[in-house]
Structure formats: structure tokens, C-alpha cells
Structure 1
Amino acid sequence: MPRFALILLGLLGSTAASAETVVITAARMLDVVSGKIIQNPQIVTENGRITLVTTQDRHIVTDAKRIDLGNLTILPGLIDMHVHLTSDPALGFDADLRHARAFSVAVGVAMAGRTLDAGFTTVRNVGSADFGDVGLKQAIDERVIRGPRIVPAAYALGATGGHCDDNRFHSGITVDRSGVASGPQGFREKVREMHRLGADVIKFCATGGVFSARDTVDGQQLTQEEMDALVDEAHRLRMKVAVHAHGADGIKAAIRAKADTIEHASLADAEAFALAKQFGTYFSMDVYNDDYILAEGAKNGVPEENLAKERAIGLKQRQTFQAAWKAGVKMVFGSDAGVYPHGDNARQFAKMVEWGMAPIDAIRAATSVAAQALGRDDVGEIATGRHADIIAVAGDPTADVNVLRDVKVVVMGGAVVKDAR
């Protein structure tokens, strides 16, 4: 079948194709669990799920459609645990003021495609106004648009005047404050509302942030009681909780509340590391985007006060990443794409390696370990029962993680959705 037809078939997700047995072969496969390179793998899929993982000399499958990826190396589709698909920094810091509210969803359609083409077949979208990420998920699931599997958070939740409250304007301007709450019961109600309207994960802001106004990056913004109630309610609804937190006090309070992942974790200290290990909390640290913010932020219209926050915290975050990894904290791949351009997600792998990880550990953070943090057993590995989400690259990513920046082929649910060979 011609290459363009394969891509179109993957995009449209035809019923006939999904019901076929598909055999995928390549020169090599990275088993992310063992860290070993397997020669001449053969992956058998049915209805978009993997039914057999073997080698080409051990099992012959007849009457099957074949996808031969030649001299490439295959590995599981990548997982980014922290994206904002409905944002694009190149549009400018004030893009939300210059466009209709629906514009952000149109941006999300384009960014979802870029993300998929970059090899990220699953993402956790941790904050989107107007339930934009929920809509994107529905459109992708219904095969209306192309994009990765999305775990949506809908609105990020936060305190009055905090990082998740838009306080850029004076009292005469009304802004969307759908994620703002106060008090333990108020946050319980917000969790229930997000769940009712389609969120699959809850995200809340425990401390200040780089891009918010009138707060400090490290200051704690929710009480322990509020965090306890919020996380308890989310877990009662079988939802994971991601927590924006830069400062040590907010990080430790969120861990004590039994949150599942800490986002950014810039100023975590030794006590926070010990607590994370005690509670099994994962850190999701965006250690690449400091480069982009400081290089391009002013051109994109980021105010000086926000750039000053980034200059104060960027290096410290990378040092914390190194210390946390050495201390044995579990780490997942979270890029914060949307603060820097979508499609460049894989640039972060090199920074993770530069600051202490072995290449295979950085890859696991975006595959098997990320799947564990999501509580999912259907993504993150090339293994029986998982979605047939597979990417192919030239070379050995365990020797050079930068090859992940040039994904040649993306297979999602057993169908080719990108072929750039």
C-alpha cells in the first residue's frame, strides 16, 4: 500500500483496518523495562492491541497486514506528563486577549498533530480553559482529528489570587475564574465539577509560579487542610492528582496530602525527597524549558517580572532534579510544552541526561515509569495487551537520546499515522 494511504488510514482509523491482524517488524527494538536492544523484533497486533511480542525467526504469522520498518529501532510511543496543548508561546504572551475564546481550541488541534508527529502518543494535559483539552480528547477518540491519547485535567484549580487565578487585571475587568476555590469543601466541589465535565486527572496549584502576577514562585497558596480535602476527593473518584509546586513548603504539603505527582518541584529539599520516597510520589520536572523562556521569552512578550522569576529559579530547578534523582525519587517526563513549542518535547531528554540520568532512565521516565504514574497498563511498553503505540528512530536511543528528536515513523493503535522515512 502506498505510504500516503497508510497515513490516511491511520488518521481516519477505519473499522476495517482496526479489525485486521497487523504485524510490525524492524531491525531492532528497545525493551524499555530491561533496557536491552532486541534484534529483529516482530510485533503482532489485533484491533489495535498487541497480542504477541516475538522475533522474526520464531513465529510466522500468515494472512496479516505487514508494516516493515526496515533498519530502524522501535520503542513504545512516548508519554509527556505535562503539556498545555491549547497554548503556543510563539503567538505571544497576550494571545488570549487578542483572540476569541475558541481560538485556543483551534490551536490545540494543530498542536496535538505536532505532538503526535514528535512521537508522543500519550499526553497528560494539565490545565486548559473552557474544557478545551476535554474537547480535543473527544475529537481524537472519535477520529475527527489526529493527535495523541489525552489525559485531560480541564481547569487547573487554585486559590484566590494564586497562580491558577488570573490576576493580571484591575477589578473592572471580568476574567474566567472557573478553577478558583476556597476552603476544603470548596475544593471538593471543584474536583467534583471537573470530574463531571470530563476531566480524567486533577491539577492544582500549591505555590506561586513563573508566569503568574503578584505572587512569589515559592510561596504556598493552599492550606494543608485544603490540599488534604482536594486530594482525598479526587482519589475517591479514582482520579490522580498533579500539583504545580515550586517552593519546598508547598511541595511537602502536597506530598503529605498524598498527591500523585509534583510538577516543577524546583526548590524541593532533602526532606521533600524523603517524603516523596515514603509516599511513592513522582516528580515531573520541566528541565529544558528554562532555555527557551530565557532565549525567546522577551520576543514573545513575556513581562520582565516573569523573566526575572525564571532567571532566579531555572538553574536551581536543574540542581534539584539532579539531587532528587540521586536521592532515589521516582521521576517522570514532563516538558511543560505550551510554555515552549509543541513538537520540541523530546529536546528535554538531553537535559535529563545532562543533569544525571542515564539515557535509558530518561526514556523510561517517558514510557514505562510514566505509565505507572498514570496508573495505566495499556501504554508505555511494547507488551501483550498494550495499545500498539510504537515509534521508530534511526540509531540507538540508549546511546544517544537525541535520536528521539527525529522520529521517523509513528504507529498508533496498530496504524501508521506518520511515515517520514
Structure 2
Amino acid sequence: MRKVSASLAAILVGLGLAGHAAAQGGPAPADKVVVIHAGALLDKPGQAPRGASTLVVRNGKIESVRDGFAAPDAVGAAGAQVLDLTQQFVLPGLIDSHVHIFSDDDKVKAQMAATTRDIEDDMVVGIDNARRTLEAGFTTIRDLGSDIRSVTALRDGINNGLLTGPTILAAGRPITVTGGHGDGSNNLNRDLTEAAHRDGDNVCDGAEDCRRAVRAQISQGADVIKFTATGGVLSNVAGGLGAQMFDDEMKAIVDTAHLFGRKVAAHAHGTDGIVGALNAGVDSVEHATFGNAQTDSLFKKTGAYFVPTMLAPKTALDQARAGARSRNSLEKAEIAAKAAMDNHRRAIASGVKIAFGTDTGVSAHGDNGKEFALMVSVGMSPSEAIKAATVNAADLLGRSASIGTLEAGKDADIIAVAKSPLNDVTELEHPTFVMHRGVVAKLDGQRAAFPPN
């Protein structure tokens, strides 16, 4: 990923400052109040849904949740806009704990255009991916691998109301070792290798250097830290899927991030890397393809979350077989896809804590909801899968105070589907209504106007 240009950075920062200045001056805006009538309401995933309910949303926050269909004047909201969802099933906005928002869905096209595109082109792709992700019902995402300046610009543009998209928690570039999964110079020609090394502040060797790499991402605005404990399927290097970091390097990364108040996600496929990451104190392990009874026990002992990303292995294998990935990737994809689902089934049955994540960017943006059917296919109930994408994911992200359930004082991140996803979890692939922080992004299955009227 290329560094953002000075001109683009200036434009985005300027827009953010302009929005901030407007918010500070002039008369206080009138309260924006919306009353939502829900036919059924899963306000607290993991518990039984409520019947007919009313949600009062004021200035992007949930003010109250009441039984029955209450008129606006009966809930202190005379003159409020009323949204009729009386024939729909309403629940909290979904959370995807593992996304790559700037990855292009068309892998072959992206490869062919790689030498002609600039960072500005990538930003346009990311803006479109963010919009499609929100319209798919995902109101919060954790981006686990993007150019740090680009993803923080996108994050802040959404937060300032300049762009439509989900709330983003950004990791920036994943911390990796030389030649490891995440080293952008792997198997490039001389000129491209030199360019990758100029941008490679995420590459480290040795514990002290890995502390520096973590601090580099945090200094540019990272909300969370990701590191690659093992090889990866999509890195163009024949390094396998086993551990690629020493224990002291992993421990240095985790301790440094925690010192700065950042949670840590570890990419790990091989058993040795999963064990090392959990012993180092990570907050989540992504993929865990070759987990076993030992890693299940360690997950429960440490309290770390497992983010299975079940969509990714099959998608990556299909892409590699179609020629959209390298020969190195094809060999690893064959191995990972064969092992993943059975190992995920065992981990879920053993009681490991699960948080929803897709690795979208490998799969197509907007298809995030297809992960739910895969989770159910390996033993989770629809209720458990939904809880993983709301309550559990909010806990993993450290955002339980603001998202994950629909309660007074929380962000008005609300979606609806036509029928109960507790009976058919695939309903979550087609949300009919999406609200993000009180702003409607999708209504009656159609994209809402942006900026909102």
C-alpha cells in the first residue's frame, strides 16, 4: 500500500477541520429525533427478543426503548419523524472484527492496475467499500491491515459526517518480520522492493525493533495493533503457515501496545503461532486454522477471543485456483481450506469465546453477512452467531458502552431484516434498514440519500 500524498492529506484534514469549525460556531442545532416502531426487537442479543417495541433516537443516541407502538408525543418526541418497521425484525448494527477496507473485490483487475494506480485511486475504492459495508448492515468494523494514513483519513471522514460508512477501528499496517506475512517486499523486483522498504515501518526484527514498529503505527493514529504470528495464505512467499516470530518479539508487540492502551490482534494459522500469541497475551487470534485441544484450553485460560474468518479460506482457494493469486498462495490455500472448518467446529464446541469476523477484502465487500451461515454450519445457533457479531464483538473492541445492544445511552446503530434471523440466519445477508449513529443509510431495502436531508 502506498503512502498518502501530501495534497490528499491536506484536503482530508482541511475538510475535517472545516466540519469541526462549523460545529463550534453559530446557534446550537435543533434536536434531531426519530421514533422507530419495530415489529420485533432483539435489543440484547443472546436473550429472547421483544415483541412490538418503540425506540426513541435523539441526536444519534438511543434515548429510550419501550414496549408497544408509542406515539411520538407519548414519549416526549412530539413532531419527530416516525419510521414504520412494524413488519420487520429489528436488532443492533452488526460488527465485523476483521476487514481490509481498501482491498479491491476484483483481484485480477487490481493486479493488472497495480502499477498505474495512486493512493488517491485506492481511497476512492475504500470509500465505495465503506458505503457498501454499511449498507450490508455492518455499522462498525475493525480494519486489520491498511495504509495507516489512508485508513485514519477514511475513519475520520466518516466520523465527521463527510462520508457514509461504518465506524472504523484501524490497525494500520500489520507488524511483521522481514520475509513474513505482511512484508510488502516479498518476491518483488528490485525497484519495487526498494519502494516497499521505504514504506516498511511495520517490518521489524528482534524485540526492540518490534516495539518501534508498534509505536510507529500508534503515532500515526492506530486504534488497535495487529501482528502476523505465522505465515499467511496470501503472502507471496513460500514460508508455510507456521510461526514466523519468536516469543520475545510477540511479547514485545503485545506489551508495547497494551502500554499505550491498544488491544492486539494476532494473525495466526499454525498451532505454534497460536500458542505463542496466546502466551504473549493477545486480545484476539484471527483464523486459528490449525488450532487443537491445547489452543482451545489456552483461549479459555487467557480469555482471548477467537475470530474464525470462515469466509476467507474457501474464497482464497477459489481465487488461487482461478489464477488471481500466486503459486505460493495456491499451495497454502489448499492446506488451509481443508483444515479450517473442522478445527473451527471443535473450538466452538469446546466453549472458546467467538467474535464475528470475515477477513473481507479477501471475500467481496458487502458479502460480510455470508459468514453467519458458515458459523451455523459448524455448530453455532443463529442466536450465538448474532451475539458474536454484536455483544461479543463490541466487548472485543472495547466498545460495549456504546454499541452491541440497543439500550438507552448507546449509539443508534440499528438494522432490520424482513424475517427473524433466529429462524433463518441468512436473513442477515439482506438487511432492509440500516441506521448508523442516528442517520439512515438504507430504508425499504434502498440506499438513502447522502448527505441526509
Q: Residue 74 of structure 1 aligns with which residue?
A: 90
Q: Residue 347 of structure 2 aligns with which residue?
A: 324
- TM superposition shift of 1:200: 0.2
- TM superposition shift of 1:205: 0.5
- TM superposition shift of 1:17: 7.9
- TM superposition shift of 1:18: 7.9
Q: Residue 415 of structure 1 aligns with which residue?
A: 439
CA contact (8 A) 2:172 2:217 kept: yes
| Secondary structure of residue in 2 paired with 1:169 | coil
Which residue of the other structure, out of 139, 154, 168, is the alignment partner of 2:187? Answer: 168
CA contact (8 A) 1:188 1:229 kept: yes
- TM superposition shift of 1:216: 3.1
Which residue of the other structure, out of 110, 126, 141, is the alignment partner of 2:144? Answer: 126
The one-letter amino acid of 1:169's match is L
1:191-241 residue CA offsets vs partner (Å, 9 max, x unmatched): 222111111000110000001122434221111111111101111111110
CA contact (8 A) 1:209 1:215 kept: no
The one-letter amino acid of 1:406's match is H
Q: Residue 307 of structure 1 aligns with which residue?
A: 330
Quickly say closer, same or farther: Cα 1:398–1:17, change in 2 above 3 A: farther
| Secondary structure of residue in 2 paired with 1:102 | helix
| Secondary structure of residue in 2 paired with 1:290 | helix
Which residue of the other structure, out of 205, 228, 234, is the alignment partner of 2:228? Answer: 205
* Aligned pairs for 1:140-289 within 5 A: 140-166=158-184, 167-173=186-192, 174=194, 175=196, 176-289=199-312
Q: Residue 8 of structure 1 aligns with which residue?
A: none
| Secondary structure of residue in 2 paired with 1:36 | coil
Q: Residue 318 of structure 2 aligns with which residue?
A: 295
1:20-70 residue CA offsets vs partner (Å, 9 max, x unmatched): 232211111123434312111111222211121121267831413322223
The answer to whether structure 1 residue 380 and structure 2 residue 404 are counterparts is yes
1:250-308 residue CA offsets vs partner (Å, 9 max, x unmatched): 11111111100101110112111111100001011111233323334444621233122
The answer to whether structure 1 residue 36 and structure 2 residue 40 are counterparts is no
- TM superposition shift of 1:130: 5.0
Quickly say closer, same or farther: Cα 1:328–1:391, change in 2 above 3 A: same
Gaps of 5+ in 2: 1-18, 446-453
| Secondary structure of residue in 2 paired with 1:31 | coil
TM-score, with length taken from structure 2: 0.86
| Secondary structure of residue in 2 paired with 1:384 | coil
207-216 or 327-336, which moves further after superposition?
A: 207-216
Quickly say closer, same or farther: Cα 1:278–1:225, change in 2 above 3 A: same
217-226 or 250-259, which moves further after superposition?
A: 217-226
C-alpha distance in structure 2 between counterparts of 1:305 and 1:191, whole Å: 28
CA contact (8 A) 1:18 1:46 kept: no
The answer to whether structure 1 residue 48 and structure 2 residue 60 are counterparts is yes
Identity across matched positions, percent: 38
Q: Residue 108 of structure 1 aligns with which residue?
A: 126
217-226 or 337-346, which moves further after superposition?
A: 217-226
1:310-349 residue CA offsets vs partner (Å, 9 max, x unmatched): 1111131111111111111101111011011100000110
The answer to whether structure 1 residue 89 and structure 2 residue 105 are counterparts is yes
CA contact (8 A) 1:128 1:155 kept: yes
The one-letter amino acid of 2:426's match is N
Which residue of the other structure, out of 388, 393, 409, is the alignment partner of 2:417? Answer: 393
The one-letter amino acid of 1:28's match is A
C-alpha distance in structure 1 between counterparts of 2:236 and 2:254, whole Å: 26
C-alpha distance in structure 2 between counterparts of 1:100 and 1:366, whole Å: 34
CA contact (8 A) 1:49 1:388 kept: yes
Q: Residue 9 of structure 1 aligns with which residue?
A: none
| Secondary structure of residue in 1 paired with 2:215 | helix
C-alpha distance in structure 1 between counterparts of 2:103 and 2:69, whole Å: 47
C-alpha distance in structure 2 between counterparts of 1:353 and 1:315, whole Å: 18
The one-letter amino acid of 2:408's match is T
Which residue of the other structure, out of 76, 87, 99, is the alignment partner of 2:117? Answer: 99
82-91 or 359-368, which moves further after superposition?
A: 82-91
C-alpha distance in structure 1 between counterparts of 2:171 and 2:29, whole Å: 31
1:346-391 residue CA offsets vs partner (Å, 9 max, x unmatched): 0110000001111111111110000011111211111122101000
1:132-190 residue CA offsets vs partner (Å, 9 max, x unmatched): 21111011111111100000011111001100102121444321323101221211122
TM-score, with length taken from structure 1: 0.92
The one-letter amino acid of 2:97's match is M
C-alpha distance in structure 2 between counterparts of 1:242 and 1:45, whole Å: 33
| Secondary structure of residue in 1 paired with 2:34 | strand
Q: Residue 7 of structure 1 aligns with which residue?
A: none
| Greater RCO (Cα-Cα under 8 Å, separation 6 or more) | 1
Gaps of 5+ in 1: 1-11
